[in-house]
């Protein structure tokens, strides 16, 4: 009897525990449901049409509106003005039960639950898929993020129910088709039909309709103008979906599958609100690569994206790049970028000359070019200072054969007696740089390249690295980022564009930029390097591009054009970087593809100089103009009278050439040379 009572009591306790567990889950469910219902009702679903038409807005560093990613999100058309072919293709592929369900699918949620459990078991904390209905996709596009979580799926569920309560099925389908993104800054099926096929949405053929319907899943991957193979395969998948949904015969589908997808590249005119195209493109790219948004989400969701943009700087650069007088070489390419030296925030960027293509090739970010002598301060001189060398340390300046039979020469074959580090930097001599890298060790230079964020590979670990010899090369943005260390007391700041992203509901999805700062060299080394790099723009290789009235430090770089060896002094890449305590400016000039007969002059005054001088003056004038610190009062290193005199006449010869071709803002180089000579004589008469 006692044992029976014990078992009974145990059963009662167990039953009560189960009741409490059930009660707990019911409370959680009802509280969660109440919360989601309130959220759904607060989402202003009755204003969904306007919400979907709201473009993503870009704000500058001061929080002022800088523009929008689209003026209007697509030409709005009624459902009757959309071809039945397209409606059948979309419904067959995206949501076959659209007209028979109340905004969500039980089977879709069951599949999502199964995938969630499976991913939990395998250690992945997301849902791989879940069969969203068209109404759910509409809710997601308007209000929610792309993350695959159960929280988002349930928010989507309640919003979908709220949408279904407020709109008819035809209206929901119409809103979905008019607001969907199709790449190339195109919204809505009307503009997609016109853009890709040159017809209205009402006149789309079955093949064209299947292609457009297929792009809904991934407008980038299934773009018929970029990835024809994938686009064709996707179109054929949609055709078979139509067959299985009894909206198309197998015979007709097979016949269409044998035809080629013929589409044209959309001629999208950038509206006035997309007024800073290179910068806006870079913002989209960073949102995708760093914050894991998709292009569709960015373009379609009405975000507020706060950035580091300086509108005045960006306008100035855009005007400079449209000024043909700043480009002595008419048909070359170029890119420029300006960074906040302290934070790494991009102030302005230009990715190329000529007509801008939406999210096209941005040379300031994506180009990979040899940096030439621009790399010397990073992999040779700063490491050497950290190892006990000084600005007065001297090095040979005549040809030397190093290990591996490597025998570098100076530009124009110049030779001299020993030179100190400051002179080697200012005049960009190659032999001292290679000699010093050999002394401190190639591995040291290679390790510093990685510390400065340069994308070096193991094959780059050789003496040629001192002169910019790299397998892949670097971008102007990477070089500008590296030079922030010299401008900011040895601390390098990661280059970035975005500071905050707010979604259409006011929720902050990016609260602060995902950026880092790290001390790559000491403050002492940074200041010593700055002191020596003053000489580059004072009377060194950058004299022809020096901004009038402003003191800057920096470096220039050129690379030899090995494809045009028959042309004397031919260059393939031209670089210039200048910095102040406030900003870093970097520019590159060259040809995208090296071609026989297409080359650049070595002299800065005949190529990159006019542009770099003008843009640097503009950028500095718009900056706080913080004075350099202890670097300003540090005495410049001196070299022999003979070396100074040689360099002086050398520079005057370089900068005096082709004066008639210079832009009006460039000082007369003969006058510069004479003034330099006068100052030189006066200095030494006082000694």
User: Which two three-digit tokens encode residue 657?
Assistant: 């050439």
CA distance 116 to 430: 60
CA distance 637 to 661: 34
CA distance 584 to 374: 13
Q: Where are the alpha helices (DSSP H) in 222-276?
A: 228-244, 250-257
CA distance 77 to 667: 59
336 is catalytic: no
E-assigned strands of 415-550?
Answer: 416-420, 491-493, 498-502, 508-510, 517-519
DSSP 291-344: T---HHHHHHS--EEEE---HHHHHHHHHHHT-GGG-SSTT-EEEEEEEETTT-
In our burial notation (b when 16+ CB lie closer than 10 A, e otherwise), range 23-39 reads: eeeeeeeeeeeeebeee
Q: Provide the sign of the torsion angle of the four alpha carbons 368, 373, 377, 381, taken in this order.
A: positive
Q: With contact defined as beta carbons under 8 Å apart, do 460 and 439 qualify?
A: no
297 is catalytic: no
Q: With contact defined as beta carbons under 8 Å apart, do 480 and 577 qualify?
A: yes
CA–CA distances in Å: residue 544 to residues 212, 519, 547:
54, 32, 9
Q: What are phi and psi of 674, to 5 degrees?
A: -65, -45
User: Which two three-digit tokens encode residue 578?
Assistant: 């200048």
Bridge-based pairing state of the strands 508-510 and 517-519: unpaired
Helix, strand or coil for residue 281? Answer: helix
CA distance 249 to 310: 57
CA distance 304 to 57: 5
Q: What are phi and psi of 601, to 5 degrees?
A: -70, 145
CA distance 555 to 573: 14
- From 132, 179, 373, 637, active-site residue: 373
- From 83, 92, 94, 101, active-site residue: 94
CA distance 639 to 151: 70
Total number of residues shown for the chain: 687
Of 218, 219, 211, which is closest to residue 236 (Cα–Cα)? 211
Residues with active-site annotation? 94, 373
């Amino acid at each position: 009897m006692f044992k029976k009572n014990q078992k009974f009591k145990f059963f009662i306790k167990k039953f009560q525990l189960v009741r409490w567990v059930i009660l707990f889950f019911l409370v959680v469910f009802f509280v969660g449901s109440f919360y989601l219902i309130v959220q759904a009702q607060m989402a202003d679903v009755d204003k969904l049409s306007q919400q979907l038409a709201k473009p993503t807005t870009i704000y500058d560093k001061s929080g002022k509106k800088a523009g929008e990613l689209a003026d209007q999100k697509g030409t709005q058309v009624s459902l009757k003005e959309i071809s039945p072919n397209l409606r059948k293709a979309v419904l067959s592929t995206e949501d076959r039960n659209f007209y028979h369900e109340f905004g969500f699918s039980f089977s879709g949620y069951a599949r999502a639950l199964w995938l969630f459990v499976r991913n939990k078991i395998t250690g992945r904390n997301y849902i791989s898929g879940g069969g969203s209905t068209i109404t759910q996709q509409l809710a997601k596009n308007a209000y929610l993020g792309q993350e695959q979580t159960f929280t988002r799926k349930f928010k989507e569920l309640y919003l979908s129910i709220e949408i279904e309560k407020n709109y008819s099925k035809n209206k929901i389908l119409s809103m979905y088709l008019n607001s969907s993104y199709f790449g190339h800054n195109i919204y809505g099926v009307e503009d997609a039909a016109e853009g890709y096929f040159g017809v209205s949405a009402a006149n789309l053929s079955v093949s064209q309709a299947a292609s457009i319907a297929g792009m809904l899943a991934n407008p980038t991957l299934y773009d018929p103008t970029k990835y024809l193979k994938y686009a064709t395969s996707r179109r054929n998948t949609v055709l078979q979906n139509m067959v299985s949904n009894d909206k198309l015969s197998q015979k007709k589908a097979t016949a269409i599958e044998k035809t080629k997808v013929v589409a044209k590249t959309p001629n999208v005119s950038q509206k006035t609100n997309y007024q800073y195209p290179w910068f806006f493109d870079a913002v989209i790219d960073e949102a995708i690569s760093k914050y894991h948004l998709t292009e569709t989400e960015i373009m379609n969701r009405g975000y507020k994206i706060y950035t580091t943009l300086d509108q005045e700087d960006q306008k100035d650069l855009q005007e400079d790049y449209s000024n043909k007088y700043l480009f002595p070489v008419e048909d070359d390419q170029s890119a420029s970028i300006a960074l906040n030296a302290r934070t790494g925030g991009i102030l302005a960027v230009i990715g190329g000359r000529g007509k801008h293509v939406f999210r096209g090739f941005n040379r300031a970010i994506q180009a990979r070019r040899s940096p030439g002598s621009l790399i010397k301060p990073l992999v040779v001189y700063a490491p050497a200072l950290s190892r006990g060398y000084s600005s007065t340390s001297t090095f040979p300046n005549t040809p030397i054969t190093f290990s591996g039979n490597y025998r570098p020469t100076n530009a124009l074959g110049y030779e001299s007696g020993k030179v100190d580090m400051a002179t080697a930097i200012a005049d960009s001599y190659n032999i001292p740089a290679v000699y010093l890298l050999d002394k401190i060790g190639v591995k040291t230079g290679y390790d510093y390249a990685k510390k400065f964020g340069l994308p070096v590979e193991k094959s780059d670990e050789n003496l040629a690295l001192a002169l910019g010899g790299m397998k892949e090369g670097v971008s102007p943005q990477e070089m500008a980022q590296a030079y922030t260390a010299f401008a900011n007391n040895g601390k390098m700041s990661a280059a970035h564009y975005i500071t905050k992203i707010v979604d259409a509901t006011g929720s902050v999805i990016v609260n602060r930029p995902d950026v880092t700062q790290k001390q790559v060299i000491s403050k002492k080394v940074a200041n010593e390097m700055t002191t020596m790099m003053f000489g580059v723009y004072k009377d060194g290789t950058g004299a022809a591009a020096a901004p009038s009235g402003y003191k800057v430090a920096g470096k220039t770089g050129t690379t030899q054009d090995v494809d045009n060896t028959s042309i004397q002094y031919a260059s393939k890449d031209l670089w210039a970087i200048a910095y102040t305590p406030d900003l870093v400016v970097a520019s590159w000039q060259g040809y995208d593809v090296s071609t026989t007969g297409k080359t650049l002059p070595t002299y800065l005054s005949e190529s990159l100089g006019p542009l770099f001088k003008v843009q640097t003056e503009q950028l500095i004038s718009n900056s706080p103009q913080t004075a350099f610190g202890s670097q300003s009062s540090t005495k410049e290193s001196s070299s022999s009278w003979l070396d100074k005199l040689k360099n002086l006449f050398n520079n005057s010869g370089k900068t005096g050439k082709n004066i008639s071709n210079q832009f009006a803002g460039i000082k007369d180089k003969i006058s510069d040379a004479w003034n330099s000579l006068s100052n030189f004589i006066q200095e030494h008469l006082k000694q």
